[in-house]
Amino acid sequence: MEQMVDFQLGGDPRARRIVVAMSGGVDSSVVAALAHATGAETIGVTLQLYDHGEAVGRAGACCAGRDIRDARAVCDRLGIAHYVFDHEDSFREQVVDRFADEYLAGRTPIPCVQCNMGPKFTDLLKLARDLGADCLATGHYVRRIAGPNGAELHRGVDPARDQSYFLFATTQGQLDFLRFPLGALPKTRVREIAAELGLGVAAKPDSQDICFVPDGDYAGLVRKLRPEADTRGDIVDLSGAKLGEHRGLIHYTVGQRRGLEIGGSPEPLYVVRLEPDTKRVVVGPRIALAVEAAQLTAMNVLGPLDGPLTAKVRSMAMPVPARMVGDRLVFDAPEYGVAPGQAAVLYDGDRVLGGGWIAATEAARIAA
């Protein structure tokens, strides 16, 4: 393996200790190999977050029993220590229960961000420090760059793999301790490294599902945790006129077009908002989804927000020009698909300036 990565620790790497967060996938496995190749003492740590029998053996569920075994097998091949810590209770409270409650409140949650904010970047950092580590390394495709005022968070160079949207809530203190050695590599190179080292996970498919919903049935999980979530209600237009009935708010998200099961409209209808108090799904034409501003809460700031910036309001969206005015994110042009419960992540070029949770939106004047 010719690939060498600087873990930004300074001094003799053989005097350093690196803890690697290992999910059992190819990315974190290669991080462990890269850390070990520096000569630093390397320790693999896996959090058992959700494995109640439903996820065992399920490819694509990052916390399943098979993935823990894969992580251990990689550590055995590299000759490094591997520890598994049970954090199911923490994960259930901070991620799974919140996921259900957000759907119940008519919002669209992002459990991967909550997981990073809680079990991964809080619990794991504490574990790494308890183990005497100099840093915690993960397999996320982002870059940590030393700036004039400390470590900065930047997008990964592989645009198809960039995960900066999901890491917007990383605090400055966490960023000082974290390392992301894959951020400058394309995914193809990561798999090549795994194959060169003979790691059994070299061709392992990437995780596609949320780890605690291995069958992809989000509504089914919410219904199981919160039976009241299946309460039926009315589908109404923007004027409040009833157009039909729905099966429960958990089956709908802002911007959704398919599955409304109502007809007779001269143009396609989309979910404009969900009203948990009245149990109504409000629908309208696409133009009604246009938003000119969003109120952000629980802001995490990693850089200056007082100038022009770009904002990403969905994980798959393109960043668009915007500016912050107090706690309001104001878009230069009407933006679509802005949903309460999602995150708005702010950028200056490739640098992540921070972000916040979308609490409410303001309809663009063209949609009024």
Catalytic residue among 62, 63, 75, 115: 115
Q: Rounded CA gap, 23 and 140, in Å?
A: 11
Q: In what order do the strands lie in the sheet containing 280-284?
A: 242-246, 233-236, 280-284, 270-275
Q: Which residues contact 256 (CB under 8 A, 6 or more apart)?
A: 270, 271
Q: Are 283 and 260 in contact (CB under 8 A)?
A: yes
Catalytic residue among 62, 63, 75, 211: 211
**CA 202 to the chain's CA centroid:** 23
**CA 209 to the chain's CA centroid:** 12
211 assigned to active site: yes
The count of other CB atoms within 10 Å of the CB of residue 12 is 10
Q: Are 146 and 178 in contact (CB under 8 A)?
A: no
Three-class DSSP category at 24: coil
Q: Which sequence positions are flagged as catalytic?
A: 115, 211
